[in-house]
Every structure is written in C-alpha cells, then in structure tokens.
Amino acid sequence: MIKIGMMIGDRYEILERIGTGGMSDVYKAKDHKLNRHVAVKVLKQEFSENTNFVSKFRVEAQAAASLMHPNIVNVYDVGEDNGVYYIVMELVEGITLKKYIEKKARLSVKEAVSIAIQACMGIEAAHNNHIIHRDIKPQNIIISKDGKVKVTDFGIAKAATSNTITSNVMGSVHYTSPEQARGGYSDEKSDIYSMGITLFEMLTGRVPFNGETTVAIAIKHIQEEMPSPREYVPEIPVSVEQIVLKCTQKSPDRRYHSMAALIADLKRALMSPDEDFVRIDDPDESMATRAVEPRERTEIKKQARKKEAPEEELRLKKNTAPKKKKPPVYEEDEEDDDEEDDDDSRMEKITTFLAVLGAVLIGCAVIFLVGRTVGIFDFGAESSQVTMIDVTGKAEADAQKALEDLGLKTEITYQESDSVEAGLVIDQDVKAGATLASGSKVVLTVSGKADGSQDSSQSGIPVPDVTGALEAEATATLQKSGFTVTKSEGFSDTVAAGQVISQEPQGGSRAASGSAVTIVISQGPNAGNKVAMPDIIGLDPETGIAILTESGFLVGQQEEMSDAAVPEGKICYASYTAGALVEPGTTIDIGISVGPKAVTYSYQEPVPSPADLDPEYREGTECTVTITGQSGTEYMKTTVTSFPITTVNLHGMSDPAGLITYEYTVEGAATSTTDADGNVVSTPGEKTRKTQQRTVMFTAEG
C-alpha cells in the first residue's frame, strides 16, 4: 500500500498522487539522491502478483529506458520494493492530450497537425529502436506547460498484451487497429493506425467509432468504413483528410510504411494544406482477379489452337503404324491419294515454317531485351518513355523548365482568366500520369493576354469582400478563395462584436493566390478605452520603451533573459502579447535578450554495482565502467573490482543525460564427472562476456 511520505527504493519520497490508470497509479515523488522531482508509476496489486506479467513488464520497461528523445517521457529507473513494482519517469508538468481536446472541444488544423508531428517524432525514435508502443491514444500523450508534446508508456502495452490483459485494463479500444482487435500480429503500422485515430479526434473532437461495448467498437474497427473527418468539420483541408484516411486503412499494407513518411506528409500539409498530394497505394490492385471479356476468351482459344495443332500433328505421325502395301486401285483413287499426300506435305512444310519462324522471333525478342538491359541497343533519348507530371498552377518559366528536364518540348498558349493569377499555368493538353515518348511536345495554357503580356492591374485573383461578416465566415470565405488570413482586433460603435470592421486588401481588388488578407475583428464599443498592445519584440530597448510610453503604458521591470531566437540586446519578452487590448496606464515588464544560454552539466554521484541489474554478477569481478552522454561522447572509462565507485567528478559536459555501461565476464557453475578409473574430473564453468546499461541524468551547472 502506497502512502504519502513513504520512501520507495531508499531514495524516492512519495509526495502526492497525480494520476491513475487501468494498470497503475502515478505519484509525484522527490529523488533524494539527485535532488529532483520525478513521476513514479506503481503497478496495482493484481498485476504485481502475476509473476509472468511482472517479468515481461520489467524487460519492456528497461528497453523503454534506453529511449532518450525530446518527445518521449524518459524512463529513469525500474525497481521493486517489498512487492511494490515501480517505474521512475521524467515528471512532465502539463495536461494529457485527451483533457486538452475536452477543454477546447476540438483543435484547429494547424495545432492538431503540429501536435501530431511532435508525437510521431517520438514514436519514430522508438520504432528506430525496434520498440512498438501498441497503445497510442490521447491519454498517453502529454502537452507540457511550455508546449512540448511527449509520448509516455512505451513498452508497457507489449507486456500487457502478451499476457492477455483485458481491454478495459489496456485502455480504450477506440484507438486500436483492426489487426490488434482481431488479436493478431501487430507492428509499427498498428501505431500509425492509432495515431490516425488520435489525429481524427483532435480535428473533430470525437472518435470515429463508438458503441455500447468494447467488442462492438472493435468490430467496427474491423468491418466498418472509416468516416471522413470532413463529415464533421467541413473546413478541414483535403491533404489532412487524406492523411487521416491513409493512416486508418484496414489493411496495414495500404497505410504509411513508416513514421518518417507520415511526418513528411504532415509537414507538407502545414505548408500546403489545400494541395491534394496524399496517395493511398493498393498493393493488390495489379494482382486483382477480374472477369474475362468475350473478346479475350475468343483470342485465348485461337492462340491455344495454334499452339496445339503442330504438336498434335507430330504426335499423330509418330504414333501412326507403318503403311502396308496398298491393293490395286483405280486411277481416280490414285489421283485422290496423290492429292491427300500433297496436302499432307504442304501442311508439314507450313508447320515446319511456322515453328522455325516462331523460334526466330522468340530468339530475336530475347536478344533485344538482353541487349537493352546491358545497354547494347540504346537508341538514344528520343525513344525513351517519360511519365507526364502535373504543372498546373506553376509559373510559366518553372513549368517549362520542369518539362524540359524530363526531355519534353513545350508550346505556350495564353488565355485570360479571372480566377487564375497571370503567368500561371491553367491547363496542359497531356494529363499527369500519362506516358509519352521523350521529345514529345506538350501544350500549356497560361493565364494572360493572347500576346503573352500581363496587365499588372488585373494580375492575381479577386479578393472577396468580407466586411460585416462574422469572423468564422470571413475566414472560411477567404481561405476557400485561396488566401491566408491574419487577424487583428479593433473597437467599433457601429459594427457588432465578432464581425469584420475592415480588410486589407479591400474586397473587389486582386491579389496573388496564397497571399495574406488582414481582417480587423470588432470588439464592440470601446467602453473602457483600451489600447492594443504594440509589437515590440526584436526592437531596441530604447525604441520599445518609447513606443510603450507613447501608447500610454508604464514600463516596469527590465530583466536580462537567455533567448536563442532574438539577437542579443533586443527585446525578447513583454508581459502582454502584441494585439492584446490593455487598459492605458498598465505596467508592462520587458525582457532583454542576452543570446542563447550555454548550458553545461556535471555528474558527481557514486556509480552503483551492476549486481542489481544482473544477479549473475559477483562482487570482486573485474568490470569496465564507461560513462557516455546521449550524443555518444565518452566522459569516463575505468576498470574496477569493487562498487560503488565514489570518485566520479565530471564537469563541463554538454549532454543533459547519458548511459553508464558495465562490461564484465561471468563464469557458469563448474561440473564434475567420473572417468573410467573412478576418478572425479572437475570441468570449469563456461565464461560469458556480458554488458549492462543504466540511464543517468546529469545536473545542470548554474
């Protein structure tokens, strides 16, 4: 029984319970050896009594302890104290993604994709170390107070599923993959499926499949078609929708092949959300069974007859008995026989000719294919085939260069357009994906006047007029027209709160596709005469203070702060964000950047014996101990025969964490046998070289 104030492992003081789950309770604790706060996850009693589960649990937790990544909750230690099995982890002050979604109802597309990228980077690091999570869900993703996303509970799911722990213990079945629901083999692609469900929930505020029982939900994962997130939130971009659908394909082979591929598409979706670039591969398409058409059936029969006729004729001739002496015949009969013999001779010649011709053609084809493979028959670039690409929407010069790089020629025609910016390709006469010979000509239709000139007053696409519209409606209208939206706030006595006061560029004018349109959102009448906080980040302190004073604010504390993003000597912090409406006379604190802070670390703790990691280790055995940082830098290497090592005094290290590696030899038990003379012969045990590792955290030097 865990009580507040008790010590676990002679070093972790339990301070408070901060969470509970199906398998464990989580406590905040103080590590008295390293003088820091940690999270201690304690297995519940029913699992602690299952020796098979505990054994697998320790192995998986130790494997997870080898993972060190900014987007993973690091595991520091695994242990047991009087029947209490526990894991010591990094303490992350923050909120689970599940609670964050519940708090905000649903996340914006940009925020959801950004969180997914960070989570996937942590999962990718685990996959690269051959560790599969198997229980990805919002409850196992934590968002820290500084906005960093961290995935937790690596390795625990594998220990649990291998011991048939029920789904109510393992967590929600809402995120499980079809292969996991069937109880079959699961791999990295199972994590990709669960990540797709998690992204769906972030975007829509709900899970795709629900039901009264876990079995009903699991069956839906196996049988029902995945709904599109755009059914619930229509403004979700097509690229993000396709990413979710590709992640959640029923067949693992149709999902992303790796987390790296998923991360690449998520990053591209951030840059080009409305671009339809996601492709879902179907590995079975080329081998799919289809009905044979009547025309094809007839052709197959003809070919079969042609192939069988010569063989059947030769077989019949071979099996025919020798001709007997013919009886006298009439003259007419002799003529008939001669005609039959002539027909047989003619057929035999035709058959022989066709056989020789077929052999020659087959031989030529083989020689030609082999020659092309080794480069003998190279007829130049003009005979090679290329696949057409999509250049619509590209600038004229860029499109021409892309096609010329493929070995194609281009012809340009111009067409005036109200919807496509001048100078961009409207259409191409050869569709993307088509195969054509190198050197072929492709006709491109470019937006512009017939003479190729571009009227600057008519360049770009029309900007919709959204003044007076509600904020959400205005944003959707502009984004649908191909613009990005920036917002600011203002007061108005005539425009109701939440509606657009003005916009720049003005409605009815033209602007480049993808450019920003700034809209000012009404806050209603300025009853308190509030003032918008100016943007002073990156300015000289003197300039920033002058702007604050002119705006009616007071300048409070001025502190030096480390900031890698803002140049030294510039303002890097203000107590109110730019654009916020603040009462005049409010005191504004500012921070002055001193540049990035160089952080070094030290380690002065005793190095414990490897005996607690490996019961086979015997005290007094020679052991080589190496301390390395997470970057691979070696900071200490020594050989000892006794533990603990109390002379460790490392300073100025660049890594915040690292590994202690033990290398030693263990000898098995000796065996005794009796020889033919009755003498006892003793055989020494087999010697084995072993390696053990433990993760350590270094202390930041002030």
Half-sphere exposure at residue 21, Cβ-oriented, CA atoms within 13 angstroms:
22
Give the Cβ contact number of residue 575 at 10 Å: 14
Beta strands in 339-452 (DSSP E): 385-387, 409-415, 425-428, 435-437, 441-447
Task: Name, in order, each residue with C-beta under 8 angstroms of 689's C-beta and a sequence gap of 6 or more.
Answer: 663, 664, 665
| Whole-number Cα distances in Å, 684 to 168, 510, 671 | 52, 89, 7
- CA distances to 213, 276, 398, 400, 442 from 403, in Å: 56, 21, 9, 5, 8
Residue 376 has, within 13 A of its CA and on its CB side, a CA count of 7
d(CA 174, CA 615): 41
Q: Quick one: three-class SS letters along 480-530?
A: HCCCEEEEEEECCCCCCCCEEEEEECCCCCEECCCCEEEEEEECCCCCCCC
Residues ≥6 apart with Cβ < 8 Å to 506:
463, 465
**Nearest CA to 623 among 635, 637, 634, 636?**
637
**476 and 445 Cβ atoms separated by less than 8 Å:** no
Count helices and strands in the chain by DSSP H and E runs: 16, 33
| Helix-strand-coil split of the chain, %, nearest 5 | 35, 25, 40
Angle at 509 between CA 520 and CA 483, to 5 degrees: 60
SS3 category, 299: helix
The tokens describing 463, both together, are 């900007």
CA 564 → CA 23, 572, 593, distances in Å? 41, 10, 8
Phi then psi for 35, rounded to 5 degrees? 55, 60
Tell me, what DSSP letter sits at residue 72?
B
Active site residue 135: yes
Residue 85 sits at φ, ψ, to 5 deg, of -100, 130
- Catalytic, out of 10, 25, 77, 135: 135
Nearest to 66 by CA among 650, 625, 661: 661
Amino acid at 616: E
Strands 587-593, 554-561: pairing kind: parallel
CA atoms within 13 A on the CB side of 235: 16
- Residues designated catalytic: 135
